[in-house]
A and B are shown apart, each in its own frame.
Chain A
């Protein structure tokens, strides 16, 4: 079990209201609701599960790489993980989300925690590789002494809660429905971790043509509440 200090840090930096701007993204849900693909509790749960599976096999692998690189104090490896994430964000909106949330997390952490590898990484973006959210989260948790399993869990929780937060504002589901879905989807986190744990950055992958089409279409939608 994590110590009380670890648990508190996990709760604070993994919280869905931590100011990295997660509330302004829907991860494609806005378009999926508009097209009617997602229209009730069952379809919402299926959608959220797809999002968390992709988060595990893609960004989740990079989060673990960032965590391990920070534990070794290796800034080069952190940068390589950021680069691997950025190269794989083939949708503009997903790319914007990852880079914007990464920058905000790094800035907030610098303000709250002070000197850290994350701060050094922000200072070195001259190399042309932006800070990305999953790697920044992994680095931060490593520096705060939170273990990689907990960090991975927080990342998966964040991916699900972002979509569910948007769902409450986009469709007819209430807070209790959203929490029930979150609870159900969280049951996959441990298995997803087993898959991500042994993957390298080269193994990062995701097959989601439907999400890609939604993301590509969303940026041209005339009326939208969310940035993705």
Chain B
């Protein structure tokens, strides 16, 4: 299994936890999901899981897309702990469609030794469509986390990927804002032949270079990042509907903007806010347009408890 242990930013954190050693039995979460088209719907045809990651079964809760298997990823350990090594592989077959979410926010727990890592891989076949819309990520005080995500897809396929990054447990105790040690995230998209489409990598180390500053997070706390990988025609339609009116709202406050990715890979939508809800609403609004243009279907109303 490929590991992230040797990435540069983890060099200062190679000590072992006082609890279970890093990567020990029970700390290596594995998830393999395979979606396949069967008749007029998609099924979860392959599922392998190893705790602390858990998936039970696909549900068909989306009233606008009744053919769409919805999979909720759970963790049995209440978040990412020091020494955790998580891996998720998602394979979406020709013409298959899937919706993958997480059960609750990804809480990257406080750490005093080592780190947590996550490797995600999405492989899409021709005309495949996948939405990966996890709940927000909350990096707690002194947490260290590295995530690598690779998406491999042909031109005819579409992936919608949205992440919301919180500053920490903002309303816990005296408030915990940008108190984590390391949050590193890389997203790489490529064609099936390995040709690169784009790479976005950030290594956030608030202790080394402040985050609450101009150009980085300015006055904002919550960061939403949406990537739509799709063919240029669909991307152009989404761009048409979303790009012309970037938001700079001093009241809420909220700031958003859309940009075209290199190599005709699709679009990237960035959102900044002070609180999570306005950011999530903006992310959701973009996702609605993306789904409508990519599939012809809209999103049902959000669940009132989410």
Q: Give the B interface residue count (CB, 8 A).
A: 41
Q: Contact partner of B203 among A43, A47, A89, A205, CB < 8 A? A: A205
Chief secondary structure at chain B's binding surface:
strand
| Distance between Cα atoms of A123 and B256 in the complex (Å) | 39
Which residues of B74-122 have CB atoms within 8 Å of chain A's CB atoms? none
| Distance between Cα atoms of A203 and B184 in the complex (Å) | 11
Distance between B218 CB and nearest chain A CB, rounded to angstroms: 4
Q: Does B306 contact A (CB under 8 A)?
A: no
Which residues of A40-56 have CB atoms within 8 Å of chain B's CB atoms? 43, 46-47, 50-51, 53-54
| Distance between Cα atoms of A47 and B255 in the complex (Å) | 18
Which of B8, B196, B197, B270 gathers the greatest number of chain A CB atoms within 10 Å?
B270
Chief secondary structure at chain A's binding surface:
helix
Distance between A76 CB and nearest chain B CB, rounded to angstroms: 15
Q: Contact partner of B257 among A46, A200, A204, A213, CB < 8 A? A: A213
Q: Does A165 contact B (CB under 8 A)?
A: no
| Distance between Cα atoms of A87 and B225 in the complex (Å) | 17
B37-45, B133-141, B209-217, B284-292 - the one binding chain A: B209-217
Residues of A within 8 A of B270 (CB): 209, 212-213, 216
Distance between B193 CB and nearest chain A CB, rounded to angstroms: 13
Could you jot down 24 A-B contacts, CB within 8 Å? A37-B218, A38-B214, A50-B214, A50-B216, A51-B215, A83-B196, A87-B196, A87-B197, A87-B262, A88-B199, A90-B198, A206-B202, A207-B203, A207-B211, A208-B216, A209-B217, A209-B223, A209-B225, A210-B272, A212-B259, A213-B255, A216-B257, A216-B270, A217-B257
Query: Which 7 A-B pairs rank lowest in CB-CB distance, beginning with the nearest?
Result: A216-B257, A50-B215, A217-B246, A207-B202, A205-B201, A210-B218, A216-B259
